[in-house]
Structure 1
Amino acid sequence: MSTKPKALRKGARLAVVSPASTPQRGLVEKGAVALRELGYEPVLYPHVFGGGPLYYAGTAEERVNDLHAAFADKTIDGIIAARGGWGTAELLPLLDTELIRANPKVFIGYSDHTSLHTYFQTHCDLNTFYAPMVAADFARENGVDWSSWCSVFEGASEWSLTAADGLRMLRPGKATGVLRGGCISILAQSLGTPWAAETGNSILFLEDIGTKPYQWDRILLHLRWAGRLDTVQGIVFGDMKQCVIPEDMELLEDAIQHSLRDFAGPVAIGLRSGHVSEPNISLPLGVSCMLDCSSEPQLNFLESAVV
């Protein structure tokens, strides 16, 4: 049974960290203002603005120290990433599993932070959140989907995502499982490492940025041959607008259908979560849900994500 972190109430203190790449200072500050206007108290951690080496927001040790400090601080209610980029995987061998287990908190991020979601779920039994980040989304006008944010972080016990949230049916059916997934490139690259993603008995959410149709086909084949789709119950893909131009969307969908031709479960596409240009939908990873593609597609959440 996975651990549900505490809900985020008004006044919640949110540690703002950069486990991957260096964000733009102005965007972090703008996103922090938006969080304050919503009633949260953002707390900027020492290496949030980066400083290298390369494109990293500090050394691996500096970035993991910020993360550990945020989990250990009893006055911090949740942790939110400033941005993604690249570098989170460097932290995996440095993470203190027992510290995190002893201090379960909301962890928010997407893209490269798929590595942390996988680690926290697999090694710490902690539910996490594929949801808007400070510089990437809160700094954008209309960057955050407030309906899903409130449903997730205020503890709605049953709620749904529908065609209004971008969902379209690729393959009919109905299935129940635990929501897992994230950025497909990061999930695939974890295979063969001690931190490989677990996908069993799941509704698998997959999205990415800048990934062409043939690359989606190739990565899905990789997941199939690695056995990672064997017990997946259903699959939901992101909106894909950051991967292909509208004229290539049909080719992308055909490539997905080809690669999943032997997959028996329901498949939907178009969910506006992760790399999106529209309001970003929050997804609670680790909770039970039902993907219903029997008529109009729905992703129905069957339990609260927080306590």
Structure 2
Amino acid sequence: MQRPSCLQPGDTVMIVAPSSPADFDKVLLMKQKLEAMGLRVLLGDSAARQRGYLAGTDAARADDLHLAFSHPAVKAVFCARGGYGSARLLSLLDFPLIRRNPKIFWGYSDVTALHLAFGRHAGLVTFHGPMMEECGGGGVDAMTLSSFEQLFTPQFIMLAAQDEYIYPSFSSVTAPLTGGNLTVLASTLGTPYEVDTGGKILFLEDIGEEPYRLDRMLNQLKLAGKLQQCAGLILGSFSDCAPKRQSSLSLPEIIYDHVVPYGIPILSGFPLGHCRPHQGIPFGVPVTMNGEDQTLVFEPGVK
């Protein structure tokens, strides 16, 4: 896995929208915040485009990504918004181009499809972090914005679990990190871009999915052999995933049914995903799960 180079004051970055259209005013506000960090900011055409629920045509959004990775001055690529649509680009992308030009790539949610593809087909360390639209909007907290500091200086990140669920006891395990949004991840199964969990720690998060839907997707991962192969499981935020009916299993019960029987180390309750604060983390680098103090330690994602 290639770690991209860290950012320096004066570097140029580019904002693109590989999925749904973004609130352009909020993107412009985040552009100003990035400029206040000492960066120069280019806006991809997709950042201001809309075609129904997409930020322009598939070809145009793919071209934006190709331009960002091939542009000699651009050092980082930030996604404007999630929503839906990044998986439509996978068959259009030039992965050898991306491999030849390893750069910081930052986003989450629907962008999970690109994280998986860039890791598997371009060997690139990428970053699961807050979108430009949400950071440009009101109410963004200092911890969320401080996530970007890891892009300027190689640094270890430590997070403490907030949940007290009793999962299999373990001391510690270290392995490369993969994963992302559960819904998007499940949709890649059976394709050339599906998640590779072999010997890796799997991270999952989601939003707006009732427990029975989470159950269905975790069962799908289990039937595909993805849960049995992983070295550990990290659960981030599952915002707005409460049951809308009286009779329902809880997420901990679903995890017990599908994952615990394999004896896989599990930690949960981290500010990762659709939540505030929202901590950015690198994919593709080793992370250490410590079962004794319920912490995670991520190795630096940049060099």
* Class of the TM-score when normalised by the shorter of the 2 chains: over 0.9
Q: Partner of 1:236: helix, strand, or coil?
A: strand
Contact 1:152 1:283 in 2 (8 A): no
Pairing of 1:114-263 with structure 2 (within 5 A): 114-143=112-141, 145-151=144-150, 153-156=152-155, 158-163=156-161, 166=162, 168-171=164-167, 172-173=169-170, 174-244=172-242, 251-263=250-262
Inter-partner Cα distance in structure 2 for 1:168 and 1:286:
27
Q: Which amino acid aligns with 1:224?
A: K
Deviation (angstroms), 1:255: 2.1
Q: Which amino acid aligns with 1:24?
A: D
Q: Partner of 2:195: helix, strand, or coil?
A: coil
Q: Partner of 2:82: helix, strand, or coil?
A: coil
Deviation (angstroms), 1:114: 0.4
- The TM-score with structure 1 as length reference comes to 0.91
1:4 pairs with 2:6:
no
Match of 1:76 among 74, 85, 93: 74
Inter-partner Cα distance in structure 2 for 1:147 and 1:201:
30
Q: Which runs of 5+ in 1 are unaligned?
A: none
Inter-partner Cα distance in structure 1 for 2:26 and 2:58:
23
Contact 2:17 2:79 in 1 (8 A): yes
1:299 pairs with 2:296:
yes
Contact 1:237 1:271 in 2 (8 A): yes
- Give the fraction of aligned pairs with identical amino acids, expressed as a percent: 35
Contact 2:28 2:136 in 1 (8 A): no
Compared CA separation, residues 141 and 14, structure 1 to 2 (3 A):
farther
Contact 1:13 1:76 in 2 (8 A): yes
Inter-partner Cα distance in structure 2 for 1:305 and 1:272:
18
Q: Which amino acid aligns with 2:200?
A: S
Compared CA separation, residues 201 and 94, structure 1 to 2 (3 A):
same
Q: Partner of 1:306: helix, strand, or coil?
A: coil
| Equivalent residue pairs, number | 299
Contact 2:165 2:252 in 1 (8 A): no
Aligned counterpart, 1:281: 279
Contact 1:71 1:103 in 2 (8 A): yes
Deviation (angstroms), 1:152: 5.3
Deviation (angstroms), 1:137: 2.6
Inter-partner Cα distance in structure 2 for 1:178 and 1:154:
20
Inter-partner Cα distance in structure 2 for 1:113 and 1:182:
9
Q: Which amino acid aligns with 2:229?
A: T
Contact 1:132 1:138 in 2 (8 A): no
Aligned counterpart, 1:86: 84
- The TM-score with structure 2 as length reference comes to 0.92
1:47 pairs with 2:46:
yes
Inter-partner Cα distance in structure 2 for 1:121 and 1:58:
25
Inter-partner Cα distance in structure 2 for 1:127 and 1:242:
29
Q: Which runs of 5+ in 2 are unaligned?
A: none
Inter-partner Cα distance in structure 1 for 2:149 and 2:249:
33
Inter-partner Cα distance in structure 2 for 1:226 and 1:145:
34
Structure 1 residues 142-151 or 264-273, which shifts more? Answer: 142-151
